[in-house]
Each structure stands twice: as structure tokens, then as C-alpha cells.
Amino acid sequence: MTKKFYITTPIYYVNSVPHIGHAYTTIAQDVLARYKRQKGFDVRFLTGTDEHGANIEKSAAAAGVTPKQWTDDVAAKYKELWKTLNISYDDFIRTTDAKHEHVVQAIFEKLLKSGDIYLGSYSGKYCLSCEQYYNDSEILEGGLCPVHKRPLSEVHEETYFFKLSRYEKPLLKYYEEHPEFLSPKIRASEIVNFVKSGLQDLSVTRTKVAWGIPVPSNPQHTIYVWFDALINYISAAGLGTLLCEDKAEHEAQLKQIKADKFEDLWPADLHMVGKEIFRFHTVIWPAVLMALGLPLPKKVFAHGWWTVEGEKMSKSLGNIIDPAKVAAQYGVDPLRAFLFREVPFGQDGDFSMESFKNRYNSDLANNIGNLLSRTLNMAAKNMGELPETIEGDYKLLAKSADVEGAIDKAYDELAFDKVLENIYGFASDLNKLVDEKKPWELTKTDPEAAKAVLLELAACLRKVAVWLEPFMPTVAKEMQKRLLPGKIEKYPPLFPRLEADKK
């Protein structure tokens, strides 16, 4: 039986349009999905949109449309971008899907019965952008939100609480027994300390937000967006077939994602998130799952944030990078590769078109592209065609097995930067071999030796073309095509060099 591998991205808010930050997380999971498929895993890759809450209600009102029209429109924009960026997701969930809403409601009522959710009231400082209350120790001077640096709203309301406090010890025990769960390791202590400092019960409904899922037994209340959103990971995996009365549509959903039952997919192997929502995924989410008696995801990985030329991306600064625009100008694949070569995965990074162009020229045009052209040109002259396999004692071809081992190890650590470093490093070794052996001269003095060099280069390049596929699916396929056994054709450069901007 093939091994399943269930991975997710955050579901993105639809109050504004997607940018390079959202693309980053999604491409990361796409790279991983493609790599795991290469290795024979039965991958289920879930993404989607988070469509309820006051912010979305407001965005729709400002645009003069209904929340439904607004969310349909932005969800479609996300899908369009994922198509442009060649994202091979298997399922796209929207929190306004009926099949999701049913599961959220069923979970709510189940936890109400078990005593994990109870009715109370709440007064506190609330940030509308974070959709979250803050306690005094977290609030900045002047009553500002620690994330948005904007004034918080004083809110008093009747609300249902989730008994998060009940899960302090079980969570700490889980972290200790599953050191992989909080990844990367450098982010673990913050979460452990947060939980150790004591957990307060979490308000999980609002009476003032109309655009949300109603509590079935008390419909004046709508369910808190985060409680609603986190559940997407199990509603998309078919939990409805276990919980909901109307099973038909949940079964249809399972067929769509090619599973017979919920247990085929759950628990997830990896939730990939940005660092700012790590806590939601590693404290609230596992506690909800514990309350439901469900297994916990194997790993939550928090990556860093992109700034743009040193600044936070924001509408007001007008510096939001639209990945579709960069891709239209320079190609989807170079963008996909750049994001992971530029910054060690897990750390923050800074995006600039200048470093994009520099890396494009050095990694792609001068290294990979040049290697492919010179190899094929020389081989065309020397042999005319490429064989299926080569035999003999070839040093770099032997080394490729070590490189592949290093690549696999880097993927295990989600060190996408190291994967690319290994691939590009190996291509540099191949370029060095060409410079040293000078096959174009060798061909005059020792044609057999020249041929051996060219055969080794072609065989190694075939490996490179397979390794590159998760990052650059289209370009890698083109490389593979050019390196097929048989007559060598003439081709244009794979990565035409970019000229420096004229000052």
C-alpha cells in the first residue's frame, strides 16, 4: 500500500487579495508535495480560504457587495493565482462550504455536551484585524494591538468559552513526547513557556458578528473565526462522515480527495504556517483535537516572514509584491526557486527585484542553463545523439548518489534552501568539469575521452533535471525532454540572461 502524506497550508483570509507571502507558504507545500509524489507517496495537499468574520463583512460592505459575492470573488482570485503558480493542490476548502459549516456546528454541539464548551460572558480588549482578545500583559502602551499597533476595541459580550485551561498539562506532555510537533526547534520554547505560564479559557463565539457560522442551539451567537477556521483541516479530510447527520455530501467530498474514510487522511503529516499563527496551531488546535478525542497532527512548521526592501508589505506603503506579475515577467519557475534559495526556510527574508535578478543570472542562466546548452551543443557535434544509459567509472556520476542523499536529508528537515544549494552546487561541479577537461579541445586529440566527458555530463544533468522538478516543474520537464535518448535537437537557452536595469 502506498503511504499517504496529508499536508496543508493556512486557509487565507479573503479580506484582501493574495500576495507573495501567501504564495510563499503555498509554494513551499507544493514543492514538498511534488517531492513526496516523486518518492511514491500518496499525497493529499489541502489549501483554501477563510471566509467568515467581521473583517470580511467590512471589506464586502466597503466594496458595496454582499459578503457572499465578495468571498466568491476573492476565493476565485486565489484559485487563479494557484493555477498561475502551478500549485498542484488536491483539495481547496472554503469555510463557507456547507460541508465545512456542518462539521463546525456538529463539533460545537458535541463539545457543549461534553462540557468543553460553556456559556459565560467576557469583557476585554479586542483587535478586529487579528480577530483576537489581548490581555493586559500583551497590550502595547496606549492600548495598542501588539501586532497592528492600532487601538484595540473594548468589547463586552455574552460568549461561549472553550475550556482551554483544561489542556495545559496534556499539551505540555504532548510537546515533550513529540519533539517534532513544534518545528523548527527554535520556535518551540516560546510555545512551551506560553503554555506553562497558564492558559485561559478561550472565547469561541460572538454575538456582534453576523457573517459567521451560527451556534445551532443558540443562533444569536456565531462561531469565532479561528475556531471555525482550524476545523477546516478535519472537515476537508471527511470528519463529517463520522459526525454529521447528512452524510451524503461528506462522502462526496471524500471521493473528491480519493479517500474511503476520515482515518485514511487524518492525522495530517504537516501543517505549514507563517510564524504569526504558530500559536493558534500549536495550542488551540491540538487542545480542540484532544477535546474531540482525535489524534494530533504530526508536525506544525512555522516559517518566517518576507519584508520588501526592508519594509513590511502593506497597502498604505504600496509595496505589496504580486507574484503573478513577477511570474509574468520572469517566469513562474524562476520565482518559485528564488523564494527558497534566497532565505533559509524558517527565517525571515527580504524580497528585492535586484536580488531576484542576480540570483536568476547566477543560479539559473550562468549555472544550470549554461551547463545544459554547452553540454548539448558539444554532444551534438561530437556524437549527434544521446544514449539511454552510460556504463563505466564516472566520478561525478558516482558523487550524484551522495548529493541525492543530502537532498533527501534536507527535505526531511524542510530545509528547502539546502536542497537547492545541493543541486546548484552539483551543477557548478559539472561546469567545473567542463572547464577543466575542455571537451571541445579534447575532441581533436582524444575523441573517446571527450565523448566520455559528455556522456557523464548528460547523465548527471538528467539527475539534476529530476531534482529540480519540485521547484521548477515546467522547466525541469523541458530539461528532461532535451536530454532524452536519441538525436540532439537545437534549442533556445533555457534561461535567457537578464540585463541589469539601465540607470
Q: At what angle do helices 416-437 and 332-342 cross, to 10 degrees?
A: 100
**Cα 149 from Cα 116, distance rounded (Å):** 33
The answer for residues whose C-beta is within 8 angstroms of residue 376's C-beta and 6 or more apart is 458, 482, 483, 488, 491
Q: Pick between residue 129 and residue 373 the one whose CB is nearest to ligand MSP.
A: 129
CB 233, min distance to ligand MSP, A = 7
At residue 339, φ and ψ (nearest 5 deg) are -55, -30
Burial letters 142-178, b for 16+ CB under 10 A, else e: eebbeeeeeebeebeeebbbbbbebbbeebeebbeee
For residue 215, what is its C-alpha cell?
451556534
For 8, 34, 354, the CA distances from 39, given in Å and listed in that order, are 19, 9, 35
Stretch that binds ligand MSP, among 29-37, 112-120, 274-282, 373-381 (CB under 6 A): 274-282
Stretch that binds ligand MSP, among 172-180, 204-212, 229-237, 424-432 (CB under 6 A): 229-237
Considering only 56-64, 71-79, 268-276, 482-490, which stretch makes contact with ligand MSP by CB under 6 A? 268-276
Q: Answer yes or no whether residue 6 interacts with ligand MSP by CB under 6 A.
A: no
Instruction: Please confirm, yes or no, whether 196 is among the known catalytic residues.
Output: no
Number of residues that bind ligand MSP (CB under 6 A): 19
Which of 5, 6, 7, 24: binder of ligand MSP (CB under 6 A)?
24
Pick 22 or 451: Cβ nearer ligand MSP: 22
Confirm or reject binding of residue 273 to ligand MSP (CB under 6 A): yes
CB of 271 to ligand MSP, least distance (A): 8
Active-site hit among 3, 83, 113, 315: 315
CB 384 within 8 A of CB 485: no
**Of 93 and 461, CB closest to ligand MSP:** 93
Contact range with ligand MSP by CB under 6 A, out of 18-26, 329-337, 409-417, 456-464:
18-26
Catalytic entry in 145, 244, 299, 303: 145
Q: Which three cell numbers stand for residue 98?
A: 456547507
* Nearest position to ligand MSP, beta carbon: 21
306 in contact with ligand MSP (CB under 6 A): yes
**Cell numbers 463583512 label which residue?**
57
Nearer to ligand MSP by Cβ, of 17 and 433: the residue is 17
Asked if 12 touches ligand MSP (CB under 6 A), the answer is yes
Please answer whether residues 461 and 373 qualify as being in contact, where contact means their C-beta atoms are separated by less than 8 angstroms: no
Asked if residue 21 binds ligand MSP (CB under 6 A), the reply is yes
Quick one: 245 exposed, middle or buried, by C-beta within 10 A (0-12, 13-18, 19+)?
exposed
The mark string for 33-72 relative to ligand MSP (x by CB under 6 A, - otherwise) is -----------------x----------------------
22 binds ligand MSP (CB under 6 A): yes
Q: Are 62 and 69 in contact (CB under 8 A)?
A: no
CB under 8 Å to 84, separation ≥6 — which residues?
Answer: 323, 324, 327, 332
Helix H, strand E, coil C: the string for 466-493 is HHCCCCCHHHHHHHHHHCCCEECCCCCC
Phi first, then psi: what are they for 448, rounded to 5°? -65, -40
Tell me how far, at minimum, the Cβ of 313 lies from ligand MSP, in Å. 5
Does the footprint of ligand MSP cover residue 107 (CB under 6 A)?
no
Output the CA torsion 182→184→188→189 (10° steps): 170
DSSP string, 107-176: HHHHHHHHTSEEEEEEEEEEETTTTEEE-TTTSBTTTB-TTT-SBPEEEEEEEEEE-GGGGHHHHHHHHH
Comparing CB distances to ligand MSP, the nearer of 22 and 250 is 22
Q: Are 56 and 11 in contact (CB under 8 A)?
A: no
Taking CB under 6 A as the rule, does residue 297 contact ligand MSP? no
Residue number, 13 or 70, with CB nearest to ligand MSP:
13
Catalytic residue among 3, 148, 261, 432: 148
312 is catalytic: yes
291 binds ligand MSP (CB under 6 A): no
Between 184 and 274, name the residue whose CB sits nearer to ligand MSP: 274
Site string for ligand MSP, 181-210 (x = CB under 6 A): ------------------------------
Task: Map grid coordinates 554532444 to a residue.
Answer: 379
Residue 22 among the catalytic residues: yes
Stretch near ligand MSP under the rule CB under 6 A, chosen from 11-19, 81-89, 251-259, 441-449: 11-19
DSSP state for residue 352 in the 8-state scheme: -
Applying CB under 6 A, the residues found at the interface with ligand MSP are 10-13, 21-22, 24-25, 50, 229-230, 232, 273-274, 276-277, 305-306, 313
Give the active site residues.
Answer: 19, 22, 127, 130, 145, 148, 312, 315
